Structure 1
Amino acid sequence: MNTQAKHPVKTSVSSEEWQLRQDLAACYNLVAHYGWDDLIFTHISARISGPEHHFLINPYGMMFDEITASSLVKVDLEGNKVLDTGYDINPAGFTIHSAIHEAREDAKVVLHLHTNAGVAVSAQKEGLLAISQQSLFPLSGLSYHEYEGVALREDEKARLQHDLGETDFMILRNHGLLTCAESVADAFLNMYILQRACEIQLLAQSGGNELTPIPAGIVDGIQASAKKVTHNAGGGLAWPGLLRKLDRMGAPYKE
């Protein structure tokens, strides 16, 4: 039974958590808008400030365009619900996200998707290629994790943490894409760029001609270039515009 109507979430959490809930719900709504969702089977999580390592994740069974700030589920690192909103969570999503939140203090937001382009590139032996400007940003900090089946085993968490290391972009082999960041806006921008890089790679490969690789060395300075382009604001530069887009669409993220 959904107890949300009896216990409004907004009045039960801090203003900081409510803002985080709205941003995370907006991210889910945007993923649906761009067609990156996989019915109910992928996940975006955000860690709540504080020593408890509590984080928010999607309610299992809700489509991404339905997710609201109130419906997000707050759990601890053991998967126990901290605030009951009447929804359960996907155990595979919990395994992946709890592993990263546990290991990386700076990975406050973790975004994991099964997009067609992302899974297709994850199945290619050479992975992401340096053939577009978009590819350079993830390649400046990209890791890979080998496929071990549906992510339900506790022992996979240590290998996932080791493979991610200090990177903010990961390709899960034969599985999909993952990005992390200190904010929802940055995690979304990271995924937008990684997804676009995968789409461009598949289009370039489909042309049948030999591909032109970007000269070695250019990737080394790409992070400094990115900061200059975004005025050091990262995803925060585009995020207000994305929220205005959702508002025009009537998306439910604020509820």
Structure 2
Amino acid sequence: MKRPKHIHKSEWEARCQLAALYRLIAYYRMTDLIDTHISLRVPDEPNHFLINRYGVTFDQMTASDLVKIDHEGNIVADYDQGKMVNVAGFVIHSALHHAKEDIHCVIHTHTADGIAVSAQEKGLLPLSQHALKFYNNIAYHEYEGIAFSTEERARLVNDLGDFRCMILRNHGLLATGNSIARAFHEIYFLERACQVQIKAMSSSNLHYPSQEICEYTVKQFESDAAEPIIQTAWNAALSLIQNQQKDYCR
């Protein structure tokens, strides 16, 4: 679809990218009916971010379904008036976008394996290469009920600290990034690590890599050499839904 004249080119491109990300999260079965949410900071508008219109399933998300809101949850664009936003989504995402200028994309999921790991006392274990990406490199936040209270925002920010990802205890997973590609890469690896852990724990005989190897591997994931791979992986993922582009970019 041709870009609507009333929406700036950079915002429309961001909307199309975010709609694609919603559909990829659906493609990889990381959805929870109409709940959970993904947000993206609006280019050149640091106090505004895009989030889903509540009630639209991720596999049907379009650029026009997204809603531009400010850090207080107000809908700021005339063309978005009348759209409903998930309150819990606003609370979680506004906390991180407001506190950290380098966070441009936030993904929050409620997958069965992610919740299962979040409910385990020791959290994510170093059982796989995917999990070693997060070795001593992930935050935890205690469950406080459905995130309706803005008072929780400060605790969310404090618990995340300088990490990109966080396990929300008894709740789910959260990943952030300075780009959509980075945030997608983080949630993909975190979700896969949780899937492996739940399967592996069906055995009573688990093998753990040495601490030395764990520390070495996380450094490999954090090296500058990983950046081109992250963008390449995002482009590859987009190719999986290439036939949907005309539908989600409208």
Give the TM-score taking structure 1 as reference length: 0.91
Indicate which of 105, 110, 113 corresponds to 2:109: 113
> Equivalents in 1 of 2:111, 2:70: separation in Å?
28
What's the counterpart of residue 243 of structure 1?
Answer: 238
Code of the residue aligned with 2:69 in structure 1: it is V
Equivalent residues in 2 for 1:61-140 (5 A)? 61-83=55-77, 84-85=79-80, 86-140=82-136
> Equivalents in 1 of 2:28, 2:239: separation in Å?
15
Residue 11 in structure 1 maps to residue 25 in structure 2? no
Code of the residue aligned with 2:39 in structure 1: it is S
Code of the residue aligned with 2:56 in structure 1: it is M
> Equivalents in 1 of 2:174, 2:37: separation in Å?
10
Indicate which of 184, 188, 195 corresponds to 1:192: 188
Code of the residue aligned with 1:212 in structure 2: it is H
CA positional deviation for 1:230? 5.9
Conservation of the 8 A alpha-carbon contact between 2:135 and 2:218? no
Residue 179 in structure 1 maps to residue 175 in structure 2? yes
CA displacement, residues 62-89 of structure 1 (integer Å, 9 cap, x when unaligned): 0001111121000000101011324110
> Equivalents in 2 of 1:214, 1:198: separation in Å?
17
Conservation of the 8 A alpha-carbon contact between 2:141 and 2:159? yes
Indicate which of 40, 43, 47 corresponds to 1:49: 43
What's the counterpart of residue 34 of structure 2?
Answer: 40
Moved more, 197-206 or 208-217: 208-217
Structure 2's unaligned 5+ residue stretches are none
Give the TM-score taking structure 2 as reference length: 0.92
Residues 185 and 10 of structure 1: CA distance in aligned 2, closer, same or farther (over 3 Å) = farther
Residues 14 and 181 of structure 1: CA distance in aligned 2, closer, same or farther (over 3 Å) = same
CA positional deviation for 1:243? 1.6
CA positional deviation for 1:116? 0.5
Tell me the C-alpha RMSD between the 2 structures.
1.9
CA positional deviation for 1:234? 4.5
What's the counterpart of residue 218 of structure 1?
Answer: 213
CA displacement, residues 66-124 of structure 1 (integer Å, 9 cap, x when unaligned): 11112100000010101132411000100000001111111110000000000000000
Code of the residue aligned with 1:215 in structure 2: it is S
> Equivalents in 2 of 1:104, 1:118: separation in Å?
24
Code of the residue aligned with 1:17 in structure 2: it is E
CA displacement, residues 9-62 of structure 1 (integer Å, 9 cap, x when unaligned): 732222222111111111100111111100111000011133541000000010
> Equivalents in 1 of 2:137, 2:246: separation in Å?
32
Moved more, 78-87 or 163-172: 78-87
Residues 58 and 12 of structure 1: CA distance in aligned 2, closer, same or farther (over 3 Å) = same
Secondary structure, counterpart of 2:227 in structure 1 = coil
Secondary structure, counterpart of 2:34 in structure 1 = coil
CA displacement, residues 163-210 of structure 1 (integer Å, 9 cap, x when unaligned): 00010010000000000001111101110000000000001001x232
CA displacement, residues 139-174 of structure 1 (integer Å, 9 cap, x when unaligned): 352000000000011111111110000100100000
CA positional deviation for 1:220? 2.8
Identity of matched residues, %: 44
Code of the residue aligned with 2:92 in structure 1: it is I
Residues 38 and 230 of structure 1: CA distance in aligned 2, closer, same or farther (over 3 Å) = farther
Conservation of the 8 A alpha-carbon contact between 1:227 and 1:233? no
Conservation of the 8 A alpha-carbon contact between 1:10 and 1:70? no
Code of the residue aligned with 2:52 in structure 1: it is N
